[in-house]
Amino acid sequence: MKKALFPLTIMLLGIFNPTLVFAQLQKGNLMIGGGINYNRSNTEAFDFFSAASQSEIRTFTLNPKVGFLISDTWVVGLEGRFSSFNSNVEVMPPSPATNVLEIKDIGAGAFARKFFPIHEKLAFFGQFSTTYLSNNQENSIDQNNSSLVFESNARRWENQIGAGLAFFPTPWIAIELKAVPINFGLKWNETKSSGATGWSTEISSSYFNLDLNTTSVFLVVNFFINRKK
C-alpha cells in the first residue's frame, strides 16, 4: 500500500508545487511561436457540355506570436494575424466570363498564460487571449459585357479561453497539445454592391461558442529564448 501511495504523493506534490525548475520557464525568458503558409494551385477544366475554364488560387497566412515571462509561471504577450486569399476563374468562349475574389484578414491581440508544472518536463497551462480582426472581401464578376462588384468589410472582437499540456524535450522548445473550447465576442459586417441595382446592408451581432470536440485539439510548437545568458 505504501509503495502505491508513494508515486501518487509525488504527483500531487508536483501539481501543487510551483517550485519545480524548468529551463524554459524562468522569469525574463521569451516564448516565440506562430506559423507561416503559402499555397498556389492551377486548374483547367473542359467537358462536352460546358465551356472550358481555368482557375488560379493563392493563399498566404502569417501568425507570429511572442510572449514574455513576467514570472516563472506567467507569460504575457502579443500575437498578430494576417491572411490573404485570391481566386481568379476565367471561362472561355463561347460564354466568356471572369470571377475574381480577394479576401484579406488582419488582426492583432494579446494573451496571458499560466503554467502549472507537474513534472520536470511536463506542465499544464491555461490561456486567455483577446484579438481585434478586420476582414475585407471583394468579388468582381464580368460576363456578357457587364460587370458587378460586391464588397464586404467585417470587424470582429474575439476572445478565447484554452488549456493544454506542454512537454519540454529540450531547454529551448515546448511541444503542446492545446484545445480552445470557449470563444466569444462581437461582429460588425457591412456589405454593398455596385451596378444599376446597388444595395448595402449592415449587421452587428454577438456570439458565444462552446466546443468540446476531440477534433479541436491542436499540436503546437513554441521556442524559448533565455535572455539571461
pLDDT for residue 45:
77
What percentage of the chain exceeds 90 in pLDDT? 54
Q: Which three cell numbers stand for residue 57?
A: 488560387
Long-range contacts of 132-135 (CB under 8 A, 24+ apart): 132/107, 132/108, 132/156, 132/157, 132/158, 133/81, 133/105, 133/106, 133/107, 133/157, 133/158, 134/105, 134/106, 134/107, 135/103, 135/104, 135/105
Q: What is the pLDDT of residues 145-170, one digit of tens each?
A: 778 888 899 999 999 999 999 999 98
9: which DSSP letter? H
pLDDT for residue 21:
53
Distance CA 131, CA 109 (A): 4
Is the domain covering 29-225 a CATH 2.40.160.20 domain? yes
Distance CA 151, CA 139 (A): 7
pLDDT for residue 113:
97
Q: Please, are residues 113 and 126 in contact by the beta-carbon 8 Å criterion? A: yes
Cα within 13 Å of Cα(196), Cβ side:
2
Distance CA 136, CA 154 (A): 6
pLDDT for residue 223:
93
Ranges of each domain in the chain: 29-225
Distance CA 112, CA 73 (A): 11
DSSP secondary structure of 20-73: ---SSS-TT-EEEEEEEEEEEEEEEEEETTEEEEEEEEEEEEEEEEEEEESSSS
Determine the 3-state secondary structure of 93 from DSSP. Answer: coil
Which residue from 208, 204, 203 is spatially nearest to 185, judged by alpha carbons? Answer: 208
Which residue from 119, 121, 89, 85 is spatially nearest to 104, judged by alpha carbons? Answer: 85
Does position 127 have pLDDT exceeding 60, yes or no? yes
What pTM does this model have? Answer: 0.74
Q: What is the pLDDT of residues 3-35, one digit of tens each?
A: 444 333 333 434 444 455 566 788 999 999 988
